[in-house]
Amino acid sequence: MRVKIITDSICDLPRDLLTEYNIRVIPLSIVVNGKASPDDGSSITPSEIFNLPDNVSAITSAINVVEYASVYSEELIHYDALVNITISGEISTCYQNAVIAAEGFPGKIFVVDSRALSTGTGLLALYAAGLAADGQDAYDIANAATVKRSKLETSFVIDTLKYLHKGGRCSSLAALGANLLSLKPCIEMQNGKLDVGKKYRGKIDKAIEQYISDRLAERSDLELGRIYITHTFGSDRKVVEAAKAKILELAPFAEVLDSVAGCTVSNHCGPGTLGIIFFRK
């Protein structure tokens, strides 16, 4: 069976991996002043979002049913079935829209809610693509991905709450208090939702070093294949390299990959955000 893996632009996977694993990405849209641009890495950039005036917000728009159906029609010319890995249905309507669109193609489309975002969704798509390359059928791939998502850990540390506040996900009081106290909150995916974990104090480099220690130190349940460092545009390269060194100091991962978040994640998290994403055994 020829199976194609599809995901959305929230996956934040580099183009070379998308090509290598034959994954198609459908872009969400970023709306600024009423104008929608696809989050495809070219129409609008994180740098442009970060440079918007404080009184202008960028809004993320989910992929709609018509867009999903159009892609499904295109890909089914070449493939027997499709597996679509989406952003968490708890924080976007992408999953619901994908399911509705799939109803028009009985037995051909299998939609999996990643219960994650950013390279959490991306890692699950890579896992599914590996199974597709091994010749597994779409039904089995979707079931395996659904099981695998429970082993996924997605979290990140935010340098500033300004962008969460602009997007309506953080109160003015909370943002002000975090800035005054120099707090760097850890945001975790829990049951498909964003939840605030530990709050770190001080400069972002020290916060990230402690965060990585908290996530990886003295653990025997890590799947030591691939781990992602995902960070927003403009992050200090020294901080990213220090994060990689800290990871390898704590756990012998075979691959430590580096990914720059696209507009969807950057829009809500802002510059200086960095997270690590990996699977447990």
What is the per-residue pLDDT across 249-260, written as a single tens digit (0 to 9) for each? 999 999 999 999
Beta partners for residue 260, in sequence order: 231
Q: Are strands 35-38 and 58-61 parallel, antiparallel or unpaired?
A: unpaired
Going along 81-225, which residue ranges are E strands?
Answer: 81-86, 109-113, 152-157, 183-190, 193-201
**CA geometry: angle 85, 90, 94, nearest 5 deg:** 45
CATH at residue 22: 3.40.50.10170
pLDDT tens digits along 90-123:
989 999 999 999 999 999 999 999 999 999 999 9
Pick the last residue of a domain from 131, 148, 165.
148
β-bridge mates for residue 255, sequence order: 226
Same domain for 213 and 125: no
CA dist 223 and 13 (Å) reads 19
159 and 90 together in one domain: no
Same domain, 202 and 262: yes
pLDDT given for residue 177 in this prediction: 41
CATH code of 213's domain = 3.30.1180.10
| Structural domain boundaries, residue 55 | 3-148
Q: Which residues, 6 or more positions from 257, have their beta carbon under 8 angstroms from its beta carbon?
A: 14, 226, 227, 228, 229
For residues 135 and 156, membership in a common domain is answered with no
Give the end of a domain, one of 148, 164, 187. Answer: 148
Which residues have CB under 8 Å from 27's CB, separation 6+? 8, 9, 38, 39, 40, 63
Q: How far is CA 177 from CA 55, 124, 142, 170, 180, in A?
A: 20, 36, 43, 11, 5
CA distance 17 to 5: 13
Task: Give yes or no for a contact between 39 and 27, defined as CB atoms under 8 angstroms apart.
Answer: yes
Please check whether residues 231 and 100 belong to one and the same domain.
no
Which of 106, 124, 148 is at the close of a domain? 148
Write out the two tokens for 259. Answer: 């990914």
Pair (184, 88) in one structural domain: no
CA 215 to chain centre: 18
8 A C-beta contact, residue 233 and residue 260: yes
Shared domain check, 251 and 176 = yes
What is the C-alpha radius of gyration for the chain, rounded to an integer number of angstroms?
A: 18
Per-residue pLDDT of the chain (281 residues; tens, 9 = 90+): 899 999 999 999 999 999 999 999 999 999 888 888 888 767 788 888 888 877 677 888 999 999 999 999 999 999 999 999 999 999 899 999 999 999 999 999 999 999 999 999 999 999 999 999 999 999 999 999 999 999 999 999 988 776 654 544 443 334 334 453 468 889 889 999 888 888 898 888 999 999 999 999 999 999 999 999 999 987 889 999 999 999 999 999 999 999 999 888 887 788 889 999 999 99
- Based on the fold, state whether residues 108 and 58 are members of the same structural domain: yes
272 and 160 housed in the same domain: yes
143 and 262 fall within a common domain: no
This prediction's pTM: 0.90
138/244 same-domain check: no
Are residues 68 and 36 part of one domain?
yes
The total of structural domains in the chain comes to 2
